Structure 1
Amino acid sequence: MAQIPAGANRPGQLSPKQTGDAWEQQARRWLEHNGLRFIAANVRARGGEIDLIMQDGAVTVFVEVRYRASACYGGAAASVTRSKQIKLLHTARLWLARHNGSFETVDCRFDVIAFTGGRIEWFKNAFGE
């Protein structure tokens, strides 16, 4: 992984944003290596953000990237709560509308890339409407 500068107020440590960006970049590279094509990153809308939007053949894939240092509290995947899923669905709906689409007209899915400790897990179609 590329070197990322340390946080300004914590020499030698990354800020939470820098840490998140680094894991999202790693997830993007991993997904591209597995055949997906990058569309967008850090898509924001009222009340939510989508980490990555990728293309898997004809399918638009909305990706949530999570990292946890260990599985002591359920691991990274367990942190994608129903509340978070609802925010992601809402943000994806708005993004699709801005691109002349909807859940009814565009084949899409929601994936989770979970980094727990040194392990990566890819949960395809992790949740839906």
Structure 2
Amino acid sequence: MFDWDEKPELNITPLVDVMLVLLAILMVISPNIVYEELIRLPNGSAQKEITKKESIEIMISNDKKIKIGNDQFAIETFADNFIRLAPSYPTDSTVRIGADGRLNYSDVMNVLAVVKKAGFQNVSLVTAQ
């Protein structure tokens, strides 16, 4: 007859032994496994040279004098002079505008508007550190 009160015993010792043997085999073999995949890299273009974009530095002093390189302009005549000067620079040049902190906001924005009107798109305002 079958005894319903009997508790079954589970012997996991053979399972643990097999797992330890497999782990030992894996640990011995894994340092010797070398995985190599062949990849095809694209050919580079040796003909094309990377050119650095020219940058234009515009500095506005406290007495409203605008300096571009060695040229200096009054703020009243800057628009005409910059429109005349702009074709000598590529339109993809980076333009950096730096101004004295005591200037009016409108003075700096007028210079920015003139630069944008001349066709330059990469314009940034420089701040003091």
What range is the shorter-chain TM-score in? under 0.3
| TM-score normalised per structure 1 | 0.27
Higher helix share: 2
